[in-house]
Amino acid sequence: MPGPGYYWIGKEEEEELIDVIRAGYLFRYGDVKDPSFRHKVKTLEEELSKNFNVKYALAVSSGTAALITAMSAAGIGPGDEVIVPGYTFIASISSIVFCNAVPILAEVDESLTLDPADVEKKITPYTKAIMAVHMIGNQCNLEKLQELAEKNKLLLIEDTAQAFGGSYRGKRLGTIGLLGTYSFNIFKTINAGDGGLVVTDDEELYKKSFAFHDQGHFPLRCGVEVGNRSIIGQNFRMTELTAAVLLAQFRKLDKIIKRLKALKARFKEQIRDIKDLEFRRINDPEGECSTILTVFLPDKKSADAAAEKLKTTTVSHSGWHVYNNMEQILGMKTINLRSNPLKNQHYRGNATYAKGMLQQTDRLLERAINISVGVVDAGLGSAFGINLNSSEEEVDQQVKQFKRVLEEVL
Ligand SMILES: *Cc1c(COP(=O)(O)O)cnc(C)c1O
């Protein structure tokens, strides 16, 4: 089951989409003087950069494409290490691999985002960037991560796929690091099935991102092209159809988050007094997306028992987002692509990907249960909970069930 935006797909999305279909122009480029060209992609980029107060926004085909584009623009490549949390979606890691760089897994702390203390320990002479993943609706400790990045001359990239619309100290997530990325896949805050976006305040990085996402072209394919393309790019372009749906979804963003906040607050208030139950630390409660309410039980045993009775799993067993369950990378020593002659010959790093290597993360996730507020997804471990359209009665009912189960297991 999907993310919150899905629940509010309606006539606005239909109208935007029909507008494009009637015009017949589905490609992102066209003649702006031609009234049948509706330029939805460009409009989405403009509305987003204005609303999020960031200079440049570039729509792409997915969150994964956004990450590869952003890192390629930033010059991350062979021989570079990128520090990434062990609790994230595989795309954060695979995108680093596809930039021919080396992912270095780091611990999360009680916020279930990168633990700055462990990030510091993982810095080597090869480290080029920190990928701050704002997991399940909440911010990383950006103050500390920014400090580390500055001190060690590292690039800070925000993977904001799971926290679109959230903010940190008044600034939208994704707009604080050097580059930020979003995803509009069905499981995210707003969606068009698939889609993504890169944001930055740096003109040069925007130009490089643009070129990378569109076969080396200049922004909007304006100006000199042939004879002037300095890089080999990809086709990660967004279509007008996708942007049409996203425009309608984007205009609902603040309402969606407001509603999620109210639902989460109602749930949280009623379970606050349960003895021995702790909440995930939120680095900026004002700016959270409130898609998930994460609780910690006292130990693995009680968490397993509670999860079973709630017909869900602890986060450890939720599959998709925990390094221990990523059989694609486990044991690969490494993704360190030294043997390939195209790759950096001088890299002598020592990345490993082994089950149980992040003990602090393991200890936290085995006690954690994700209660759905807006993202109902067994793959996130959030099969139990409520959704964007839940009534107050439904919330209270789920609260009752939760309390009953906790009384049994604690
Ligand atoms: C979903 C997700 C991505 C990738 O986004 P897609 O649009 O599915 O390619 C990247 N990082 C995280 C943390 C995600 O949850």
Share of residues in the chain with pLDDT > 70 (%): 95
180 lines ligand 1 (CB under 6 A): no
If you average pLDDT over every residue of the chain, what do you get? 93
Residue 243 has pLDDT above 80, yes or no: yes
The top-level CATH class assigned to 254-409 is alpha beta
- Per-residue pLDDT reduced to its tens digit, 187-210: 999 999 999 999 999 999 999 999
For residue 284, report the distance from its CA to the centre of ligand 1, in Å.
22
Residue 1: the pLDDT is 63
Q: Compute the distance between CA of residue 327 and CA of residue 19 in angstroms, rounded to an integer.
A: 44
Residue 341: the pLDDT is 42
For residue 88, report the distance from its CA to the centre of ligand 1, in Å.
9
Q: Where are the domains of the chain?
A: 4-252, 254-409
- Per-residue pLDDT reduced to its tens digit, 15-37: 999 999 999 999 999 888 888 99
- Per-residue pLDDT reduced to its tens digit, 46-66: 999 999 999 999 999 999 999
- Per-residue pLDDT reduced to its tens digit, 117-133: 999 999 999 999 999 99
Q: Note the CATH number of domain 4-252.
A: 3.40.640.10
189 lines ligand 1 (CB under 6 A): no
185 lines ligand 1 (CB under 6 A): yes
Nearest one of 122, 110, 112, 68 to 87, comparing CA atoms:
112
133 lines ligand 1 (CB under 6 A): yes
Banded pLDDT at 218 (limits 50, 70, 90): confident
Residue 309 has pLDDT above 50, yes or no: yes
Banded pLDDT at 344 (limits 50, 70, 90): low
Mean pLDDT of 222-240: 82
Mean pLDDT of 376-394: 90
Residue 147 has pLDDT above 80, yes or no: yes
Residue 338: the pLDDT is 40
Banded pLDDT at 289 (limits 50, 70, 90): very high
Residue 174 has pLDDT above 90, yes or no: yes
The contacts of residue 59 (CB under 8 Å, 6+ apart) are 28, 41, 44, 45, 195, 196, 197, 238, 242, 243, 246
154 lines ligand 1 (CB under 6 A): no
Q: Which residues of 388-401 are buried (b: 16+ CB within 10 A; e: fewer)?
A: bebeeeebeebbee
The contacts of residue 376 (CB under 8 Å, 6+ apart) are 1, 2, 382, 383, 385, 387
**Which among 105, 185, 323 is the best mutation to test ligand 1's pocket, defined by most ligand atoms within 8 Å of the CB?**
185
Mean pLDDT of 373-379: 84
96 lines ligand 1 (CB under 6 A): no
Q: Compute the distance between CA of residue 51 and CA of residue 391 in angstroms, rounded to an integer.
A: 30
Banded pLDDT at 100 (limits 50, 70, 90): confident
Atom of ligand 1 nearest to the CA of 135: 13
